[in-house]
Chain A
Amino acid sequence: MQTIGWDTKVHDLTTLFRARIAPPFLTLVFLTLVFTSPALCQETPAPPKAKDLQFFESKIRPVLVEKCFGCHSLESGLAEGGLRLDSRDAILRGGSAGPAVIPGDIRGSLLYRAIEHKDSNLVMPPADSGERLSPEELKDFSRWIRIGAPDPRRDADHLRAREEKENSSISWWAYQPISNPAVPSTTDGATKDGVANDWAWNDIDRFIFAKLRDEDLSPANDASPEALLRRLYFDLVGLPPSPDELAAFMASLQQGSSRREAILQVVDQLLASPQFGVHFGRHWLDVARYGESTGREVNLPYNEAWRYRDWVIDAFATNMPYDRFLMEQIAGDLIPSEDERDRSRQIVATGFLAIGSRNVNEGNPKQFAVDQADEQIDSVFQATMGMTMACARCHDHKFEPISQRQYTAVAGIFLSTETLFGVSGGNNARNGSDSIELDSHCGLPVLELNWSPEEISKKRIELKEMRDQILAALEEQESIKKKKAKANGNFDRAKQQELRKLSNKANELEFQLSALSEDGIPRILAMGVADRPASPANLEAKQAKQGKLAKYMSSQRRMAFPKIDDSPFFARGEIGMPGERVPRGIPNLFGDADRHAIPREASGRLQLAQWITSQNNPLTSRVAVNRIWAWLIGRGLVDSVDNFGNTGGRPSHPELLDSLAHRFMHQGWDMKELIREIVTSRTYQLSSIAENEEAQRKDPENRLCWRGKGRRLQAEEIRDAMLMVAGRLDLSSRTGTTMAKHRYGNKVDPGLGRKRSKGEVVSDDVCRSIYLPLPRNASPEILDLFDLPDGTVVQGLREVTNVPSQALFLLNNQGVAGLAGAIAKRITSQIPGRGGDRFEARLDALYRLILSRSPSREEALLANDLFQQSENSENGWVSLARGLMATAEFRYLD
């Protein structure tokens, strides 16, 4: 034991002894290893004999692959217990417990001990998998170890294999063209439980049914009509059905409408409602990482984000074709428009690129610009194509066929684009930005600012004075510098600070006033993007405007990337290490990049948008269909809705996904039609209760869609539903938000987003939640509590948490109590009078109002208990109303 083997073992031993729990058997193993094993000596082993290798190939390798690789190989990406079994080196090195095999020493080989199933502490394959090696296989392994564990596989081979795999990452399913699979035949056979194939209502069901039948499973029962109606309402408009709507639906079923007809009728009505746009618009805002402020370090408000919000709502309400929907968001400013109105709307749509979070306090303007471009690349590629393009900023993508060079080609597109996000500059925001002024006759709403003409002229005079003061101070500074040229020429510190303060104020004021025209009329401002100037002439004109004030007035700052140009290749993504410029271009993933060549005078956003929405692009349609599926069914056909790359998932129903994607793309990118098809499928309306034990055992995650998936309501739905059942919700839209109306400059007023103590947020503006102010890191309490995304990244599906602060809110919040009070009044005035029979009628009304169903007998008794114990009838109804809103059932759809 005098070789290097000793050192490694000593190290392992110390780790082991330092461990808090060191199972005795492990210690034993190690002692055995160290003191008795001959295999640890590092002498060069004789090369294995051909016949021994043959034995490995025929008897050992197949078993390893089949039984072990699932958890112990590079291929699976797993090395449970730190152990890989896919090369000899890895096996001898072993895992956290030590070498898996000690050649020649069967007893000392942990691998053998594990497969033997004699030591209950070490059983492989795991006991719960129900698998174990046959006696023959055990014998083979024993022999294999005895003859020195011959094995031709070396780690280097594996690494090379992996590299090859990475190079062929383009072979991943999502990069393949979309096929147009045939709908499975409807003529053959029922499931083994006798569910016949006429179960299917539409083609979606035929795909789902065929797969269930192949797996010997049957679909669950249909959901109750009440649960189904509630599901449809929340899924399509984000609101509960009113008791009247519930009654009408039940009546139509009783009067002999088929379930399917009744559903179709409701669906058409809901899809036509303006509330559909509000609800689905919010889904897209999650994808678009919507937020009303910069977030990050200094968090300044975006005063015009709401225009993009409204554009999204409108696009869904009017069923804008999805390709157009994307086109306008990426390049709306660059595509033709019918008139000024359309043109303005298209510019608003490009707000998508401007609303991301950003560190406006970044000291280096160049860094700021490349970070901003990176954020845009990340969002565009993830939102539309489910690609994690931004991973290739500092190095070639580790998993996708994207090189850093290709990333740089795309970065040039965004660096050639000016992003106008409308934030006051100054010390806190070293990187402020103008807004885009839209045509005053474009017909978009004007955000009124309640300033009197006197106030306005006062502010203007103030601003002029400040600018003069800054100029004077600068002159003074100059002269001091000249005088003290050789001595310590620093400007007096106090004065310097004064100057900073002044410039902050001036910036803020200038920003506020920029909301008005010369005549004091509010301008119509928006966030969005525009191509930078292409020619140097324009550039010079722009720079000529920048005077002495440039350092102190953010509006006159110099830009790090002033014109349309290719991006330098930044080594390791560092701006301090620029290399040669990489021509702007589209990643040639689908062999069609030459069809989208970028003209010299254009940023390339238009070409990028065309490539993304091209029918040649297999990702865009699949990603869109999958998002919509996930919003309605609760999970995607592909689980990783924002990541379709090699690290994402595979579709549970590839043919169904392609069939939907193919039709979506070739039939006008019609979102409402796709939604209609999904919610009128039989699959959609299945009960979510996991009654079928066999199915639950075989497919607990419901990948095969054998049942419905209940879902937690989203934050907005919870608030809107509470307001609605209390009769308080105002369904009309809002112009701007409370925050935008204040046109704050250098701060997000935390009080606006987050009125904590009294619960005003529930009820002070009773608009739909989408219209509430949504500054990042300071969104309204109730939305925060129920998992509103923070708007920093693309998020196609929301997190769902169940935390005590939610419970505290529902139990103790004044706003909630106020709504419970309103509900109690509503119920009692609806069914007036006194006496015992009133209780039952009221209770029934209360359940139908809040849970869209009547109470069961047991529930009525339970409610009666609570009511009887209450001090008085009013308290009783308030308690019941609050209680029902606090139940899991209220916020979970069945």
Chain B
Amino acid sequence: MTLCRNRLELLSRRSVLRNTACGFGWMALSAMLAKDSPAQRIESAGTQLPARAKHVIFLCMKGGPSHVDTFDFKPELEKVDGKEGPRPGSKWMKSPWTFKQHGESGLWISELFPELSRVADSLTIVNSMQTDVPAHAQATVRLHTGNSQFVRPSLGSWVLYGLGSENESLPGFISIAPGGGAGGAQNYGNAFLPAYYQGMRLGNEGRDIDQTQVANLAPIVGSERQRRELAFIQKMNRSKFDDDPQDQELEGVIHSYELAFKMQSELPKVMDLQSESADTLALYGIDRKESKNFGGKCLLARRMVEAGVRFIEITHGAWDHHANLHQSLTRNCAAIDRPIYGLLSDLQQRGLLEETLVVWTGEFGRTPYAQGRDGRDHNHKAFSLWMAGGGIATGKRYGSSGDFGVEATENPVPIVDFHATLLALLGLDHEQLTFRYAGRDFRLTDTRGRVIQDWIPG
């Protein structure tokens, strides 16, 4: 922090946040303001919740994975297989895969996840998720921003805004391989929050891990020459700043060169998976063709957490199984099973799981009745997600989608409640984390949202 205390009073919250790049969030701001004003201190003390998680790894399965074939066991569905379903002309379809109970918790998980099942006891599985519309784009945007009707900041931006960054050499919110479409950049966009809270895109959906890169990161001149140029630029900038020390934006420019310079060396280090041992690569399934790319991205995420990145999202595409469910779901699960097991157990071994919340979810689920012979249609009334680490309950199942998985029947969870709880795990009160824009205070959860205490032990 290079801000002088006595200048502070001149600044609006927005300009502070915009111009002081790294390490700076709403919570830090509240705390800092509190130094000057005891009333503010009271406010921030009263609104902070106990933080359990410091980082989030958000695994987004784009397209809507079938819950009844993965994490929502439906023995009743087997009994009615092939019989007339709830919609006229529809037929129930049992899962082609068997489920087993795992760990001490006895959580039911499909055989599609043999590796992940080994760490079942660290999961909280939610079987009663719901969203508003069974359309990919709207549901994806709602999952990420809480609202599909208007352009709003994404979850990651809110988290970074709330907590600030831990590493001054890296961006605090990185979205690995996001897709175009389905809202595109909106899903990691800052909307009206200052641009600093925008997610940095790394690579594109469907690209190999080798093509997952940042633009203009590699110096095009030798390091000595760049250092000279940078020294020249910054001396010019500082002398201008000395002429007009009131100019906050100039300070922002100077800071941006500092971070850029550090990123050049820091980010490639984070990106360098080759420095990992063969054992680690194997742990993440990078040694296997089917899981190499997702494994690489998971490993990147762990390295980013270690480096202090606050929010990392990894997108995995093509879960929209209207047809060819059998083949496609098998292939998708094989691509992510080992990597996710690797990620969870690696985080655990390194003592990072306690402070890292890992979320696995799609934008909605699928129907327990068939579409065609080998497919399932969209279902927004019930889907499943799971979370691990970051202070979430362990070995827990929450909610139910009834006997068949058509609709959440017990403890239905709307997206806003999921958001509110995720923020709470990070120590952020979703009702207090606001940003003033266009004349009113906006929140991620808008006017709703309820923290689900059952997910947070004691």
Q: Using CB atoms and an 8 Å cutoff, list the residues of chain A in contact with chain B.
A: 15-16, 18-23, 26, 71, 80-82, 95-97, 114, 119-124, 126-128, 296-299, 359, 361, 363, 388, 399, 488-490, 493, 497, 640, 643, 645-648, 688-690, 696, 700-701, 710, 712, 750, 756-757, 777-778, 781, 787, 790, 792-793, 799-809, 811-814, 817, 858-859, 862-863, 865-866, 869-871, 875, 879-880, 882-884, 886-889, 892
What is the chain B residue whose CB lies nearest that of A394?
Answer: B149
B323 & A812 in contact (Cβ 8 Å cutoff)? no
A863 & B232 in contact (Cβ 8 Å cutoff)? yes
A802 & B220 in contact (Cβ 8 Å cutoff)? no
CB within 8 A of B249: which of A497, A712, A777, A879? A712
Across-interface contacts of B323 in A (CB, < 8 A)? 493, 497
Interface size on B, residues (CB 8 A): 87
A80 & B40 in contact (Cβ 8 Å cutoff)? yes
Across-interface contacts of B171 in A (CB, < 8 A)? 804
Given the interface pairs A21-B45, A493-B372, the reply to whether A806 lies near B256 with Cβ below 8 Å is yes
B103 at the A interface (CB under 8 A): no
CB within 8 A of A359: which of B137, B228, B233, B438? B137
28 residue pairs A–B, Cβ–Cβ below 8 Å = A15-B46, A16-B46, A19-B45, A19-B46, A81-B40, A120-B38, A122-B38, A297-B138, A299-B184, A361-B135, A646-B439, A690-B246, A701-B10, A750-B180, A778-B180, A790-B185, A802-B252, A809-B216, A812-B216, A812-B264, A862-B232, A866-B229, A869-B228, A871-B225, A879-B225, A883-B229, A883-B232, A888-B240
Query: For the complex, would chain A's binding face be called helix, strand, loop or mixed by DSSP majority?
Result: loop
Measured CA separation A489–B239 after assembly (Å): 79
Across-interface contacts of B371 in A (CB, < 8 A)? 493
B43 & A803 in contact (Cβ 8 Å cutoff)? no
B278 at the A interface (CB under 8 A): no
B51 & A811 in contact (Cβ 8 Å cutoff)? no
Give the 10 A-B residue pairs with the shortest CB-CB distance, closest first.
A647-B439, A96-B46, A297-B137, A802-B252, A807-B260, A493-B372, A801-B195, A804-B260, A804-B259, A888-B253
B372 & A80 in contact (Cβ 8 Å cutoff)? no
Across-interface contacts of A490 in B (CB, < 8 A)? 89, 372
Kindly identify, within residues 72 to 115 of chain B, every residue whose CB is under 8 Å from any CB belonging to chain A: 89, 91
Across-interface contacts of B48 in A (CB, < 8 A)? 19-21
B218 at the A interface (CB under 8 A): yes
A23 & B438 in contact (Cβ 8 Å cutoff)? no
Across-interface contacts of B440 in A (CB, < 8 A)? 647
A97 & B46 in contact (Cβ 8 Å cutoff)? yes
What is the chain B residue whose CB lies nearest that of A492?
Answer: B372
Q: Using CB atoms and an 8 Å cutoff, list the residues of chain B in contact with chain A.
A: 9-10, 18-19, 21, 36-51, 89, 91, 135-138, 141, 151, 171, 180-185, 194-196, 200, 214-221, 225-226, 228-233, 235-237, 239-240, 243-244, 246-247, 249-250, 252-257, 259-261, 263-264, 323, 371-373, 375, 427, 438-440
B51 & A20 in contact (Cβ 8 Å cutoff)? yes
Measured CA separation A858–B255 after assembly (Å): 23
A811 & B37 in contact (Cβ 8 Å cutoff)? no
Given the interface pairs A126-B37, A812-B220, the reply to whether A886 lies near B233 with Cβ below 8 Å is yes
A862 & B236 in contact (Cβ 8 Å cutoff)? yes
Given the interface pairs A298-B181, A811-B226, A879-B229, the reply to whether A97 lies near B36 with Cβ below 8 Å is no
Shortest beta-carbon distance from B137 to chain A in Å:
3
What is the chain A residue whose CB lies nearest that of B12?
Answer: A701
Across-interface contacts of B263 in A (CB, < 8 A)? 804, 808
Shortest beta-carbon distance from B37 to chain A in Å:
5
Across-interface contacts of A814 in B (CB, < 8 A)? 220
CB within 8 A of B183: which of A296, A696, A859? A296
A801 & B9 in contact (Cβ 8 Å cutoff)? no
B50 & A20 in contact (Cβ 8 Å cutoff)? yes
What is the chain B residue whose CB lies nearest that of A298?
Answer: B181
Measured CA separation A526–B407 after assembly (Å): 47
Given A296-B137, A493-B375, A811-B230, 5 more pairs with CB closer than 8 A:
A22-B45, A95-B42, A804-B257, A805-B214, A805-B260
B216 & A813 in contact (Cβ 8 Å cutoff)? yes
B236 & A399 in contact (Cβ 8 Å cutoff)? no
Shortest beta-carbon distance from B105 to chain A in Å:
26
Across-interface contacts of A870 in B (CB, < 8 A)? 225, 228
B39 & A892 in contact (Cβ 8 Å cutoff)? no
CB within 8 A of B233: which of A298, A645, A883? A883
Across-interface contacts of B240 in A (CB, < 8 A)? 887-889
Given the interface pairs A20-B427, A299-B181, A866-B229, the reply to whether A643 lies near B49 with Cβ below 8 Å is no
Measured CA separation A361–B37 after assembly (Å): 51
A781 & B42 in contact (Cβ 8 Å cutoff)? no
Shortest beta-carbon distance from A388 to chain B in Å:
7
Across-interface contacts of B231 in A (CB, < 8 A)? 866
Across-interface contacts of B50 in A (CB, < 8 A)? 18-20
B228 & A866 in contact (Cβ 8 Å cutoff)? yes
What is the chain A residue whose CB lies nearest that of B133?
Answer: A363
Measured CA separation A696–B250 after assembly (Å): 17
What is the chain B residue whose CB lies nearest that of A800?
Answer: B249
Across-interface contacts of A892 in B (CB, < 8 A)? 249-250, 253
Given the interface pairs A862-B236, A866-B228, the reply to whether A388 lies near B260 with Cβ below 8 Å is no
Shortest beta-carbon distance from A691 to chain B in Å:
8
Shortest beta-carbon distance from A779 to chain B in Å:
11
Across-interface contacts of B180 in A (CB, < 8 A)? 299, 750, 777-778
A689 & B45 in contact (Cβ 8 Å cutoff)? no
B89 & A488 in contact (Cβ 8 Å cutoff)? yes
Shortest beta-carbon distance from B229 to chain A in Å:
5
A811 & B260 in contact (Cβ 8 Å cutoff)? yes
B47 & A96 in contact (Cβ 8 Å cutoff)? yes
Measured CA separation A497–B259 after assembly (Å): 50
What is the chain B residue whose CB lies nearest that of A817?
Answer: B220
Shortest beta-carbon distance from B57 to chain A in Å:
23
Given the interface pairs A19-B49, A23-B41, A804-B263, the reply to whether A812 lies near B236 with Cβ below 8 Å is no
Shortest beta-carbon distance from B442 to chain A in Å:
13
Across-interface contacts of A121 in B (CB, < 8 A)? 38, 41
A808 & B260 in contact (Cβ 8 Å cutoff)? yes
A297 & B182 in contact (Cβ 8 Å cutoff)? yes
Shortest beta-carbon distance from A175 to chain B in Å:
16
Given the interface pairs A15-B46, A803-B196, A863-B232, the reply to whether A114 lies near B39 with Cβ below 8 Å is yes
